[in-house]
Homo-oligomer: A and B are copies of this chain.
């Protein structure tokens, strides 16, 4: 859900990519992004595409041909990360877990000690399963073997604390349409000084031009023309981040957490079982299991037609096995939760 003032912001006049007004907006956007990422990284930029373009920027710049990429694989987007790594002619090694489980320090450390990868990638909040990975588990194990860590924060950024610097994440990327409650089309990305040193030391040129991080930095910091920015999407992102700053990050995260707990309590009262263990749940993507004998497609169709509520189904390993209930931005409040629970109860009984 997108706030009316975010839609309104898109109506401001389009300006060119070297307009000083644009750089004013971009600088403010970047400062606010540093706050939600929890980072002081100067290299906090906006990739000109959706969340997946952020993912590919991370992989294409930091995973060199011939290097080794280790992927923590417990959901859909780990597969996408692996695929992008293979396209860079890297050796991709994976530690697999059933969808919905998370990784613990011992197994992460053992895996990385064995494989000694150059780069490690994991998904912070996996939208396909509802599982939240503790970043410190991965970064501690990765830094033992001197590997860079890429974190997918597509679903988490803006809805819960990411704490890039404290967690020791080297590269994180996200999208605009989930925790930031904006329209899609841009991918915030941040990279640590350590990551940028590695990039500077790359032996082979980057195969991507559009997603070349050094060129993006030269544009945002050096005002050197690269691509023609989509100013309406920046105006929207600026307004979305301004609303987040206005509410306050801690308050916003707490609101998401409280709504999540109230949703889970309601689902459990209805007899549903959550797919992910209590300690590892994403507040903004909730995945109750589909009860035995219930047709999830029918329930979702009924919810849309009768209550105009759109929830997602499971896919991949979890196809037909879970519901995925988004609870983000303006919708993360007790009233929406109560309304949803009534409608969901109705749909399950129908």
Q: What's the least CB distance linking A14 to chain B, in Å?
A: 5
Is A73 part of the binding interface, using a Cβ–Cβ cutoff of 8 Å? Answer: no
Number of A residues with CB within 8 Å of any CB on chain B: 45
B interface footprint on A119-130 (CB within 8 Å = 1, 0 otherwise): 000000000000
B10 A209 Cβ-Cβ under 8 A? no
A87 B208 Cβ-Cβ under 8 A? yes
Q: Can you show 17 pairs from A to B with CB atoms below 8 A apart?
A: A11-B11, A14-B183, A48-B53, A48-B185, A51-B227, A52-B210, A52-B227, A56-B210, A83-B209, A87-B208, A87-B209, A183-B231, A184-B228, A185-B185, A185-B230, A230-B233, A233-B233
Which chain B residues lie closer than 8 Å to A233 at the CB level? 185, 230, 232-233
Which chain B residues lie closer than 8 Å to A60 at the CB level? 207
Which chain B residues lie closer than 8 Å to A53 at the CB level? 48-49, 210, 227
CA–CA, A252 and B99, complex, Å? 54
B interface footprint on A74-96 (CB within 8 Å = 1, 0 otherwise): 00000010011011110000000
Q: What's the least CB distance linking A126 to chain B, in Å?
A: 16
Q: What's the least CB distance linking A87 to chain B, in Å?
A: 5
Q: Which residues of A contact B (CB under 8 A)?
A: 2, 7-8, 10-11, 13-14, 16, 48-53, 56, 60, 80, 83-84, 86-89, 175, 177, 183-185, 205-211, 226-233, 236, 310
Which chain B residues lie closer than 8 Å to A229 at the CB level? 50, 184
Copies in the complex: 2
Which chain B residues lie closer than 8 Å to A16 at the CB level? 310
One of B2, B14, B232 near A14 (C-beta < 8 A): B2
CA–CA, A210 and B205, complex, Å? 19
Closest to A52 in B: B227
A56 and B208 in contact (CB under 8 A), knowing A11-B11, A49-B227?
Answer: yes
